[in-house]
């Protein structure tokens, strides 16, 4: 990321205020919606070693469609503040009249031409679950703790969680469940934080379950320190066929101005942002099915994207993470309305620590001795923290890494620095940057069914 932090100091407060405004709009104005899971798919539960019940969904497009039993399973997880519906756009009962106005591109992908399901529901063209099902895979989608809606809501036993928890405690239970049901080793992967969850799992990082229970029951709840086992890493790499990283989250490019006590005291609060509850309440009260919120978000992010293009060395480069022009308006509405989910604020604080201190360590509040810390310090020898970049070499399974072109939130060069260049190389590793994309739109934008989806299936078909 060739951008000077010193040059940004005078522009500092502008993007922070923009992010705050976008967050407020997302929370307070969203039309919302209940989780649109129907009988078309099957919901499973997986219980973690620290006794948290998680939800997974096995995908099929319709009740008369067959699950792809005895075919290659693939387990995918969504990004932060996202649930399983990030990967499965489709027409819901409430929005059927609105989404019926959707049209497909003139140059649709060859695999979708004449497809009966897509002709009946155009949203399925951008549905990764449907694509994988059509290609003969057995798609599964999981929600780590605290995420999901309705029957897909995974439990949340505390308001304190970090990026460490999904990979150390949740992913093992989900992989085990998929393997038990299918009898086959799955491919695992995810978008952003979902991909982070996978590489944490694969490097053998773990949190002792008893320590986790004791930590959340302490007078001041905390997450225990992360540990690592090379034997566990070997077992986990052998438990899967490969790793699919869709713009995997690493240390994010961040401007230095946010490194203040005020900002840290907000983002390090031990709370859950209740996005699901807020949106469902708004829906019950209003019954709205209009797309005003979608139009607003499109206007905001299009403006930010254009500013980043016009001023490539400015602070707007940090905000170029959602090219809404690359997303069909109805798919964007589904994404905002259904795919947003609850999230732990301390995950944001951990990302901030990574980006500002340039070290991908466990949560800086981890361990009872660190519960009172608000501002993390730079890495020091013997500071007692677990650093993920030190153990990426434990990842031996083959990986496909599909990256966005824009550098907002996730920069390709940083993914290379912290993940790609550090994992143990494999002959089938594949790294590809998809032109015209940004971080948030990569999994469901116009390029997804034409570029990203086929690349995933072609790569998996090598095995």
Distances (CA, A) of 108 to 59, 112, 113, 118, 122: 23, 7, 7, 11, 11
pLDDT value of position 12: 40
Q: Which residues have C-beta within 8 Å of that of residue 30, sequence separation ≥ 6?
A: 275, 278, 279, 282, 293, 336, 337, 340
Residue 282 has pLDDT above 80, yes or no: no
Give the tens place of pLDDT for each residue, 201-235: 999 999 999 999 999 999 999 999 999 999 999 99
Beta-ladder partners of 205: 228
User: Residue 244: pLDDT band by 50, 70, 90 thresholds?
Assistant: very high
Range of the domain at 24: 5-460
Average confidence (pLDDT) over 367-393: 96
Average confidence (pLDDT) over 356-377: 95
Q: Where are the alpha helices (DSSP H) in 407-452?
A: 412-415
pLDDT value of position 8: 40
pLDDT value of position 277: 74
Count of domains observed in the chain: 1
Q: Give the three-class secondary structure for 381.
A: coil
CATH number of the domain within which 443 lies: 3.40.50.1820
Distances (CA, A) of 115 to 41, 120, 122: 20, 9, 10
Query: To the nearest whole number, what is the mean pLDDT of the chain?
Result: 89
User: Residue 307: pLDDT band by 50, 70, 90 thresholds?
Assistant: confident
Other beta carbons less than 10 A from residue 462's beta carbon: 11
Distance of CA 97 to the CA centre of its chain: 29
Residue 15 has pLDDT above 80, yes or no: no
Q: Which residues have C-beta within 8 Å of that of residue 63, sequence separation ≥ 6?
A: 39, 40
Residue 256 has pLDDT above 90, yes or no: no
The Cα 81–Cα 13 span in angstroms is 24
The Cα 11–Cα 427 span in angstroms is 45
For residues 83 and 339, the answer to whether their CB atoms sit within 8 Å is: yes
pLDDT value of position 10: 40
Pick from 153, 122, 127, 138: which is nearest to 53 by CA?
Answer: 153
Residue 30 has pLDDT above 80, yes or no: no
With tokens 């019926």, the residue in question is 100
pLDDT value of position 304: 84
Q: What is the pTM of this model?
A: 0.90
pLDDT value of position 286: 55
CA angle 413, 417, 421 (to 5 degrees): 115
């Amino acid at each position: 990321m060739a951008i000077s932090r010193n040059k940004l100091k005078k522009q500092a407060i502008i993007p922070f205020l923009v992010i705050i405004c976008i967050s407020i709009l997302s929370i307070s104005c969203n039309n919302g919606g209940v989780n649109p899971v129907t009988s078309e798919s099957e919901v499973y539960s997986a219980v973690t070693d620290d006794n948290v019940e998680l939800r997974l969904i096995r995908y099929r497009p319709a009740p008369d469609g067959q699950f792809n039993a005895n075919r290659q399973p693939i387990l995918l997880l969504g990004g932060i503040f996202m649930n399983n519906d990030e990967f499965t756009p489709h027409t819901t009962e409430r929005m059927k009249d609105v989404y019926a106005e959707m049209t497909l591109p003139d140059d649709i992908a060859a695999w979708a031409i004449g497809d009966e399901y897509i002709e009946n529901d155009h949203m399925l063209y951008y549905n990764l679950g449907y694509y994988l099902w059509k290609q003969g895979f057995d798609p599964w989608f999981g929600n780590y703790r605290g995420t999901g809606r309705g029957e897909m809501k995974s439990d949340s036993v505390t308001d304190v969680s970090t990026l460490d928890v999904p990979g150390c405690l949740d992913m093992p239970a989900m992989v085990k469940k998929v393997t038990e049901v299918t009898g086959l080793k799955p491919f695992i992967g995810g978008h952003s934080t979902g991909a982070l969850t996978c590489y944490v799992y694969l490097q053998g990082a773990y949190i002792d379950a008893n320590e986790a229970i004791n930590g959340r029951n302490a007078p001041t709840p905390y997450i225990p320190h992360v540990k690592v086992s090379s034997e566990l890493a070997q077992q986990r790499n052998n438990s899967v066929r490969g790793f699919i990283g869709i713009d995997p989250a690493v240390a994010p490019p961040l401007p230095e101005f946010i490194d203040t006590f005020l900002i840290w005291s907000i983002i390090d609060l031990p709370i859950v942002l209740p996005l699901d509850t807020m949106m469902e309440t708004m829906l019950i009260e209003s019954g709205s099915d209009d797309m005003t919120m979608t139009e607003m978000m499109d206007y905001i992010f299009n403006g930010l994207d254009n500013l980043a293009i016009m001023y490539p060395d400015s602070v707007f480069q940090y905000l170029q993470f959602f090219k809404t022009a690359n997303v069909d308006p109805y798919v964007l509405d589904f994404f905002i309305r259904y795919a947003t989910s609850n999230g732990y604020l301390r995950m944001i604080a951990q990302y901030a620590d990574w980006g500002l201190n340039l070290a991908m360590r466990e949560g800086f509040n981890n361990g009872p001795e660190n519960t009172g810390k608000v501002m993390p310090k730079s890495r020091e020898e013997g500071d007692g923290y677990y650093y993920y970049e030190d153990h990426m070499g434990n990842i031996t399974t083959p990986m496909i890494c599909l990256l966005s072109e824009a550098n907002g939130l996730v920069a390709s060069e940083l993914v290379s620095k912290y993940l790609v260049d550090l994992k143990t190389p494999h002959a089938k590793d594949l790294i590809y940057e998809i032109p015209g994309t940004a971080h948030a739109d990569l999994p469901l934008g116009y390029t997804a069914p034409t570029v990203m989806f086929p690349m995933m299936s072609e790569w998996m078909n090598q095995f």
